Structure 1
Amino acid sequence: MELLPSRITRYLLLFVSLLAIVELIESLAKAVAGYGGFGFAVTLWACFGAAYGWLLVEPMIRPLLLMRRTVRGSSERRVRRIGAGIARDSGTANPKFYVYESEKFDVMVSGIGRGVTILVSGAAADVDDQQLRSILAHEFGHIRLRHSLIRLTMYGSLLSLAIVGHSMTAIVLPANLFVLWTMRQMEFAADRDAARVVGRNDVRTALERVGGVLGDIPQWQAVFSTHPTFRDRIARLS
């Protein structure tokens, strides 16, 4: 998982939630005044299905695209060396590591089971050893706690829920917000797991560095995000 979700994904989640509100209003209006029709409902549910379908497959498609930009050299060897040390200290199976060309600060986990890989952008691979160790320890926390599997299960369930039927609207919106809240808790859990391996102060320092590079999302937007703000993550560690 990325340290912050992509902008497209964040706004897609917001769009889906707004669609749920629109659909709820449409359902109430139809019940009261006979407004709307079956075609409008089908269109909105198709939007739900397309949006959740994308959220389900994005974690699988994006790494495949990034793999085409991987680079070999000292950065990759350094990431593998530090990653191997974290795998040993955390008692986690050592995944594959790839460094890809990008000026964007980004780290993500892809795959489940023996196919797990960690992709690190060139910008993220350039931080000092202590910060890189903390960043990778956070990703190892996601692997050890099986967050990728939980994410796929939750979004797969939401996709199924979104296409069940017109009367399920009132359930989809709270379910969507609950899934987002759960994913934010997974980020806190991965931070705690990283602190167990490399130390709380090192993780906090890495979060401050990454937050300074990426910038923080507004507090109101965090409700629709898969990740908490850096402010909240640092406060939890403190």
Structure 2
Amino acid sequence: MVLLLAFVPQVNGMSKDEIVKLLMEQIVGMGLKVGLVTLDAGFYTVEVLKFISQFKFVIGVPVGDVKIYEEFDGEYTTNSKRYKKEEQVKFRLLVYGKEIVKKRKKTVVYFARATNLDLPKREVLKLYNKVRSPIETSYRNIKAFLPFTSSTKFIFRELIFVLAMIFYSLYTVFKNVMTREEFRLLLILCFLDDLSDLKDFIFNLEETLINTIDLFLWR
């Protein structure tokens, strides 16, 4: 079961390590203990690696960055031109190949993972897939709870997504006892009185959520 506990509105100029730090601050602020951090290859930067090294982690690595196109399990040091040699990050690099059929021809595509786990290579890769796959699936499922809006306000559209996240998280709790359509009906019944005056309901909801997210952005 995947529960969505934190979110960060991504604005222009925000670095990837800032996003990760803000998310972790929210999680730790809830009194939760971080057992494992998994990130996709889009977050592979020296700054992110330095930050998540305080936790157990597995992060996707673009194979083109490490330029290793064979099975590999060993120590690797980043070679970012933005940092001096002593500022680079060392980690355990895992590279594995997967055979795919492309244009009726079999070819091997390589994938890489960075980690600090002291586990067999196969177990690390299996753990990463076990954690990441439900997350990717949950993001697609969240869209089923997104209401249509023609609003061009960034904060309001962000709010709509937050609501969808909340509804999806609630659904994951109840999905063993009801279908998604039954859960949607339950939501409608819960808001039925407010929806009797739809115009005022939407206006008040928009105003409240915009103020809430606006305060969050000023943290």
Larger-gyration structure (1/2): 2
Higher relative contact order (CA 8 A, sep 6+): 1
TM bracket, shorter-chain basis? under 0.3
Query: Which of the two has greater strand per residue?
Result: 2
**Which has the larger helix fraction?**
1
Calculate the TM-score normalised by the size of structure 2.
0.27
With structure 1 as the length reference, what TM-score do the two structures score?
0.26
